[in-house]
Amino acid sequence: MTLRKLVLSVAILATFAGGVFVVDRRASAVETQSNAAFPPEGQIITVDGLRVHAYVAGTGPDLILIHGASGNLRDFTFSLIPKLTAHYRVVAFDRPGLGWSDPLPEDNISPAAQAAHLRRAADQLGVKTPIVLGHSYGGAVAMAWALDNPDTAAVVLVSAATMPWDGGIWYMHDIMGSAFGSWTAVPLITAFAGDATAESATRDIFKPDAMPDGYLAHIGASLTMRRTSLYANSAQVAGLKPFIIAMRARYPTLTLPIEAVHGDTDTIVPLRVHSGPLSELLPNVHLTVLPDTGHMPQHAEEAAVLAAIDRAAARAGLRDAP
């Protein structure tokens, strides 16, 4: 190698290393700011050496709340949980890798693995015969919980991903959920996406419904923009379909009460792909279709979700019929 080529190679490497340093430093600053702005709302417990963030409130039958992709338990503390605590002991979790819960090992991120991990956390909290509610991706975790835990009293599905679909997932999840993406695309997004991107993405999740006033300030969307969470979230979403296919084969073994609530204009987890076919497959699914409602019924049609929880509890014999 000539001296000129050597100098050029060193210059290129130095520029690349400098760029990586700048991105890493900026991403770390963004994460520090987010962590300070949105600290844990509940308690941190340890399961198999990993942190699990749990929020516990209320008295009554145990009700587990499991949030969806790109989210955290703050989605439930915004307005839903305060309306439940008079009748239920509510336990909301940050799913592994999101919010303040540590990620699971990369080869063990299935809905079943997440459900088993959260079940061990619930055991530490003294949970018995719970109703398990899952929103969006959390619906897959709720179904996995029921499949592997016969003591589950009932399941409530809110805009839940429960059935196989045609095609793939948004290509960016494939990229960000890969090893290559974890050290290229993910740090860049964390460092430079900014609050405007998080706000735009959150508003899109609600469409056609309006995002409630104060929701963005409460939810802490920037928590999902941290590198570990971006990678964990995308890996979970990108790898979900094979697990759903395997779970669907086991669904007929479920005989417990299942309440499903789904908006008919949900384009993220479409009714016609998920809750509709599920209700046709299982006679124990009671489906509530919400006209002109998108992916976030727990906010846009909160009363319908509360009613579904009460019906599930009544069907399971945990409280009187509403």
Q: What angle do CA 295, 301, 305 make, to 5 degrees?
A: 90
Please indicate, yes or no, if residue 117 is contained in any of the structural domains. yes
Specify the 3-state DSSP secondary structure of 44.
strand
Average pLDDT over residues 174-179: 80
Of 8-17, 29-38, 132-141, 247-256, minimum mean pLDDT range: 8-17
Residue 291 lies in a domain: yes
**Does some domain include residue 152?**
yes
Place of tokens 């080529």: 5
Q: What is the pLDDT of residue 17?
A: 39
pLDDT of residue 195: 77
Domain of 260, in residue numbers: 39-165+240-315
Element (H, E) at 296: none
Ramachandran region, residue 162 (left: φ > 0; alpha: ψ -120 to 50; beta: rest): alpha
Number of domains in the chain: 1
Stretch 269-278: mean pLDDT: 98
In a domain, 215, yes or no: no
* CATH code for the domain of 307: 3.40.50.1820
Q: Is residue 29 part of a domain?
A: no
Q: What is the DSSP letter of 134?
A: E
Note the pLDDT of residue 50: 97
CB atoms within 10 A of CB 194: 13
In this structure, the number of other CB atoms found within 10 A of the CB of residue 169 comes to 15
pTM of the prediction?
Answer: 0.92
- Summarised one tens digit per residue, pLDDT across range 83-99 is 999 999 999 999 999 99
Which pLDDT does position 40 carry in this prediction?
97
Residue 83 lies in a domain: yes
In a domain? residue 282:
yes
Residue 8 pLDDT > 80:
no
CA-to-CA dists, residue 273 to 163, 171, 172, 261, angstroms: 7, 20, 22, 14
Q: Domain for residue 79, yes or no?
A: yes
- Is pLDDT at 14 greater than 50 in this prediction? no
Tell me, what's the pLDDT at 13? 31
